[in-house]
A and B are shown apart, each in its own frame.
Chain A
């Protein structure tokens, strides 16, 4: 009964009246893609496929890995194309500037305001390090592989995917494609502790792909991805497991906290089916409330039923960035070199 009501109250889709599909399999009218509304419940969006499109000869992208918004409201995209690792847009999708030619494995992008100035933290898979830069691309420092932990026999075992910066300046790095440790440093880059790692326990990770500081409970906590396990794992700032959030079928990337909600690009669904991604939105209780381009979220006995893609708009969403209007910018990995897509909240 509970489930039925939920489905009934959750409109999955609506679409402009100009699009009629005939029984013969022919479109009667040209579908206007901007009419398509995706998402569920209170979280519905119009799609702008062309938001981030640029001249691919002049400003090429390979994988569009992550996006953040700076204090000036600009949207910053990180790609592993070394002609321009960093592409800065205004909110309308207009190109402002590009920089960065030295980051072949540019993967994780985190922004942190320090004393009124924004700084970027880039995790590079190929260089096996974290790079801190200012918004002009000047490098402040590099944090190399954490040899001092004694957990790493070689640099190659360390393939960091994401960083998160606490209010006190501590730097947390998730080694999501490497040995699955979470490594905590102080703001000077001195090692404080490690936790996580590979294993079968609830505190272990398989593909610790993303990490974020979650302040929704009025204090700082760490929300960390266990992507291959289709889970988020919440930890205290000193590495104690608090909670495991199960998202069966959803291969979640980096958690992005915005207001009372958690947004996340879901790169695959099901058994890692190619091109099966969508976007997921969790409320303050970490319940999936909307899955733009995914199936209607339903819970039974407090457990989420497996989720999957229903509309083939995204291929492999890799990160989301949420602006002050609650609109979502979606960056995609391995998706035919596409530029970011915008979902405008309606």
Chain B
């Protein structure tokens, strides 16, 4: 079981904008396994007189008309739950967003190797950390995250069973207060046994970081189809091209944090 204290957390708005109304804080959320094979759950709590928790499962932002949270939510498929606190006298909280991923029990990854220097401080269980199906919490020093400082990271994966349709999810973190600026781009390259080369087949460029989101963990989905079965692929996670101007550390090098690569 893990506790997600705040996946998305609102930053400095209140104090910089005197005269603005107060926000509720985000509810305290506890979940079962985020990457699960049979069933998981989400539990939320918010001990505040007169407040209600509302949630959605369709990806939309919860509002006053969303479903009322009245107890543990069971999850038995891929699902994103967004939950927020509401009160008639205050602005609603920033929603907590949890993306659950259902997998089958079959082992997909045969081996995995990392091109990049894992930080001594955040080394988890080295390569194994990336395919142990253990999702890290919002706390980057919980031992389930690998940290890389000031460099792009390549991860080469060999599959147990070659496949013509590949779906990969890469779990990364943003924590702007701790210089974890989230990757700028994530690439999927597949190995061609004939040419003996990797070629880029999919890439995701992440949206610009904004000042109000300080902590965020996210799965990035990448896909590939190939006539010839794919037996090996590579994920390349690149640093932000440029640290946003609003960030106090805009001349320093930043961190990339990875905790899991899931093959579906």
Contact = CB atoms under 8 A, between A and B. Distances in A.
Interface of A: 7, 11-15, 19-21, 23, 25, 27, 30-31, 33, 36, 49-50, 269-276, 295-296, 298, 306, 308-313, 315, 335-336, 338
A336 B18 CA distance: 12
14 contacts: A13-B49, A21-B86, A21-B89, A23-B65, A31-B22, A33-B21, A49-B18, A273-B138, A274-B11, A274-B215, A275-B10, A276-B5, A295-B46, A295-B48
Interface of B: 3, 5-6, 9-12, 14-16, 18, 21-25, 28, 45-51, 63-65, 85-93, 137-139, 142, 177, 214-215
Of all A-B residue pairs in the complex, the 5 with the closest CB atoms, nearest first, are A12-B49, A270-B5, A295-B47, A310-B48, A296-B47
B6 A276 contact: yes
Given A23-B64, A271-B3, A310-B24, A315 B87 contact: no
A13 B18 contact: no
B18 A270 contact: no
A30 B19 CA distance: 9
Contacts of B90: 15, 21, 31, 311
Contacts of B87: 13, 21
A295 to B, nearest CB: 4
B15 A338 contact: yes
Given A21-B88, A25-B92, A271-B138, A311 B6 contact: no
Contacts of B22: 31, 33, 36, 311-313
A60 to B, nearest CB: 16
B25 to A, nearest CB: 4
Contacts of B28: 270, 295, 306, 308
Contacts of A33: 21-22
A306 B139 CA distance: 17
Contacts of B6: 270, 273, 276
A20 B89 CA distance: 6
Given A11-B49, A306-B28, A311-B25, A19 B14 contact: no
A324 to B, nearest CB: 28
Contacts, number: 119
A260 B65 CA distance: 45
A226 B138 CA distance: 23
Contact of B15 (A19, A21, A27, A335): A335
Contacts of B215: 273-274
Given A271-B137, A271-B139, A295-B28, 5 more contacts: A12-B48, A19-B21, A270-B3, A274-B214, A296-B47
Contact of A315 (B5, B15, B137, B138): B15
Contacts of A306: 28
B50 A308 contact: no
B137 to A, nearest CB: 7
B38 to A, nearest CB: 27
A336 B214 contact: no
Nearest to A36: B22
Contacts of B24: 310-312
- Most chain B CB within a 10 A radius of its CB, from A30, A50, A310: A310
Nearest to A272: B139
A31 B49 contact: no
Contacts of B63: 23, 25
B54 to A, nearest CB: 11
- Most chain A CB within a 10 A radius of its CB, from B6, B23, B86, B137: B6
B5 to A, nearest CB: 3
Nearest to B18: A49
Contact of B50 (A12, A20, A269, A313): A12
Contacts of A14: 49
A310 B47 contact: yes
B25 A12 contact: no
Contacts of A50: 18
Nearest to A11: B49
Contacts of B3: 270-271
A256 to B, nearest CB: 23
B65 A312 contact: no
Contacts of B177: 274
Contacts of A336: 12, 15-16
Contact of B51 (A11, A23, A310): A310
- Most chain B CB within a 10 A radius of its CB, from A30, A49, A273, A336: A273
B64 A308 contact: no
A76 B49 CA distance: 34
A312 B89 contact: no
A298 B9 contact: no
Contacts of B9: 273-276
Nearest to B178: A274
A96 to B, nearest CB: 24
Contacts of B142: 271
A308 B25 contact: yes
A15 B51 CA distance: 13
B92 A309 contact: no
- Most chain B CB within a 10 A radius of its CB, from A13, A309, A312: A312
A289 B88 CA distance: 25
Nearest to B14: A312
A17 B82 CA distance: 30
B122 to A, nearest CB: 15
